[in-house]
Structure 1
Amino acid sequence: MTQVPTLTFLRDQLRRARQARGLSQEELGKLVNYSSSQVSAVETGERPVRPDYVARVDAVLKTGGLFATMLELIRFHAAPDWFRPWEEIEREATSLRWYDPTVIPGLLQTEGYARAMLSMGGAMTIEEVEARVVARLARQAVLTGDQRPQFVAVLEEQALRRQVGDRAAMREQLAHLLEVGAEPNVQVRLVPAGSPWHIGLGGPFILARLASGAELGHLDNQLRGQTVDGPNDIATLGRRWETVAGEALPCRQSARLIEEVVTTWT
């Protein structure tokens, strides 16, 4: 069986490849448009290994895409088996509607927020957490690629006020919501804290529409996620989406509320 590379191995190989070409961190940084401190942070594990970084290193060092392939293997194997089919659906979707009453959706999470979430409970090793962070950040490319889906996220205001990581991580996360929410294909809407209980609070869900017109849903629980495509299930989730969307503020009002909440994390 082929051994799956780890992030530690990938960082070591990035460092070895740079040194084999006789390049300092500063010299490589200039070639890939990164600072020497950023190159150092990638190689030491202080900064995640991102797809754009390895793509630039592959191009500069003429590796034939070796590091990008290694990173894709790590990303693929970091995801739980049950989640991989949904990742494919995300990549193929023309529209995604995501409701989460408790946390920021994965496609909108910053590195710090994602790492803090995944580290909770101590169920995973540091290496496993880092691999999951890499995988989660890589998924976000669907929002910025050539075929961008229309993405609508409805969140509860309480999710922005519940601390995940330190206060700096929360400030960064909320600023990121404002930045991403300004993209033409993305809407971030908030259900105000003063809203009454509604049926959507029963749990998070995602609805995806494919180019074929097919609709699929994704549900999360404490153990694993579930992808559903039955007409009755999709119709039920559609009605629940209409409920949560009806409770949510419009985008501009939501942005103003996010700006208000950011000030509470200073």
Structure 2
Amino acid sequence: MANIQALDPNASPLSYYGWELRRRREAHNLKQSQLGDIIFCTGSLIGQIETSKKLPTRDFSERVDVALNTDGVFSRLIGLVLHSQLPAWFQPYAEMEVKATYISTYQAQVVYGLLQTEEYARALLRVDYPDSVDEMTAARLNRQRILKGENPPALWVVLSEAALLQEVGGRDVMRAQLARLLEFRDAPWVQIQVLPFSVGQHTAMMGSFNLLRFEDDPDIFYVESYDQGHMTANPQVIKERSFGYARLQATALSPEDSAALIARVMEERYGDQS
């Protein structure tokens, strides 16, 4: 219990979540094990979350809200907690991504984060964040919620053929990831095009980038390096990159032909070869 008493609610969103969970639990005169029984988890897990040693999930938060009658407090807090797990340099972009009404992205090597499966994301993040892969994966999956909301942004994705062929996490993970891309064929606000190797040189040879559009704010161009992201609303940059992206869309395979290529790669490269 000493570790719980020493917890500083101002240290981070995760610390505040744990502090508030303990406060609410004790207000109901419940031991950790008793609350665990109510929401179908162990008392040890409750203790780890209260002391910021374990990241809560959205499902956990919703069950706690019901058990402690908190009127959605923890369901609201979990968004802040997961956002705080993103790299500090990436958080400003994530905040703008949520507000965007139209997202255009070119990805030179990997599938765009909003379309990644959990296993694919986990395999990628394990390379650079081996000690926090669970937290980083949860934060990335939390970003994907914007595609499931009542008013999702329009999302246009141009993927280099390299993203289909670069094996991430093994053949089973890649097969599931490509199957996920095919699930978006009938999505009303998502379009996916593949830029084949055969096009040769193109307007995005410098690498991946995103363009965000908003209802009332200027467009934003975003690009990132290994450990930092760069956003700009410079009108000349937006003009050049928007025109370059339009050329990419015109050069890439149609969404229908792209889906056919994704399906072919999924079967021929990652299918059952026994």
TM-score range, shorter chain: 0.7 to 0.9
Instruction: Show the counterpart of 1:36.
Output: none
Which consecutive segments of 4 or more residues in structure 1 shift more than 6 A? none
Contact 1:50–1:138 under 8 Å retained in 2: no
Segments of structure 1 that go 5 or more residues without pairing to the other structure are 29-42
Report the 3-state secondary structure (helix = DSSP H, G, I; strand = E; otherwise coil) of the residue aligned with 1:201: coil
State the distance in 2 between where 1:78 and 1:59 align: 22
Q: Quick one: structure 1 residues 112 and 233, their matched pair in 2 at CA, closer, same or farther if it must change by over 3 Å?
A: same
Aligned residue identity for 1:244: L
Output the aligned Cα RMSD: 2.8
Identity %: 30
State the distance in 2 between where 1:89 and 1:23 align: 38
State the distance in 2 between where 1:208 and 1:125 align: 30
Q: Do residues 20 (structure 1) and 20 (structure 2) align?
A: no
Deviation (angstroms), 1:224: 1.2
Instruction: Show the counterpart of 2:171.
Output: 167
Segments of structure 2 that go 5 or more residues without pairing to the other structure are 1-7, 26-30, 42-48, 50-54
- Match for residue 256 of structure 2 among 252, 257, 262: 252
Equivalent runs, 1:21-170 vs 2, <5 Å: 22-23=37-38, 25=40, 50-51=57-58, 53-54=59-60, 56-61=62-67, 62-120=69-127, 123-126=128-131, 128-170=132-174
After TM superposition, the score normalised by the length of structure 1 is: 0.80
Deviation (angstroms), 1:68: 2.7
Instruction: Show the counterpart of 2:3.
Output: none
Q: From the CA coordinates, give the structure whose radius of gyration is larger.
A: 2
Deviation (angstroms), 1:18: 7.6
What CA deviation, in whole Å up to 9, does each residue of 1:205-233 have, x standing for no partner? 11111011621111111221111100111
Aligned residue identity for 2:270: W
Aligned length: 239
Contact 1:74–1:131 under 8 Å retained in 2: no
Q: Do residues 201 (structure 1) and 205 (structure 2) align?
A: yes
Deviation (angstroms), 1:160: 0.8
Q: Quick one: structure 1 residues 216 and 259, their matched pair in 2 at CA, closer, same or farther if it must change by over 3 Å?
A: same
Contact 1:49–1:134 under 8 Å retained in 2: no
Q: Quick one: structure 1 residues 65 and 236, their matched pair in 2 at CA, closer, same or farther if it must change by over 3 Å?
A: same
